């Protein structure tokens, strides 16, 4: 599912930025995946807090989040570099989602995570 978003961003910015569109699409997919992971982590932390379950401290939560984020960045860098991107680009269908909506998704996830972290 995330491959569709990557290719949509890549194709949209390919016209205007050329090779720089690869970096933009990679930044987008990293931001999207990390924001989704942050929302899930914030939800689980808020749930555990409401249930009075002490799973981990806040410091350990952020250290674990940073480690997972570094893993996601390296995974995406290896995955969307080269042959995989070429194959996805050849198989891709035309995008029907507006570009502004694609950028609102990670922003909305981060906003939701911040709300959940305040709980």
Calpha distance 12→95 (Å, rounded): 9
**Per-residue tokens: 52:** 């009075």
Q: What is the pLDDT of residues 16-53, one digit of tens each?
A: 998 899 899 999 999 999 999 999 999 998 898 888 88
Q: What is the pLDDT of residue 52?
A: 85
Q: What is the pLDDT of residue 6?
A: 87
End-to-end CA distance of the chain: give it in Å, rounded: 30
Calpha distance 20→45 (Å, rounded): 37
Dump strand ranges (E) for 22-106.
none
**Mean local confidence (pLDDT), 77-94:** 79
Q: What is the pLDDT of residues 43-60, one digit of tens each?
A: 998 898 888 888 788 899
Q: What is the pLDDT of residue 107?
A: 95
**Per-residue tokens: 85:** 């991107």
Q: What is the DSSP letter of 92?
A: P
Q: What is the pLDDT of residue 95?
A: 72
Q: What is the pLDDT of residue 80?
A: 86
10 vs 23, 31, 52, 68, 106, CA distance in Å?
9, 14, 44, 24, 16
CB 28 within 8 A of CB 106: yes
More confident residue, 28 or 97: 28
């Amino acid at each position: 599912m995330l491959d569709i978003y990557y290719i949509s961003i890549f194709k949209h910015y390919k016209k205007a930025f050329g090779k720089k569109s690869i970096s933009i699409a990679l930044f987008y997919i990293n931001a999207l995946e990390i924001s989704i992971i942050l929302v899930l982590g914030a939800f689980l932390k808020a749930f555990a807090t409401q249930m009075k379950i002490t799973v981990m401290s806040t410091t350990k939560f952020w250290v674990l989040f940073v480690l997972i984020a570094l893993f996601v960045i390296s995974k995406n860098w290896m995955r969307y570099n080269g042959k995989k991107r070429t194959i996805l680009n050849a198989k891709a269908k035309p995008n029907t989602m507006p570009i502004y909506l694609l950028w609102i998704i990670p922003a909305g996830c981060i906003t939701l995570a911040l709300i959940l972290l305040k709980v």
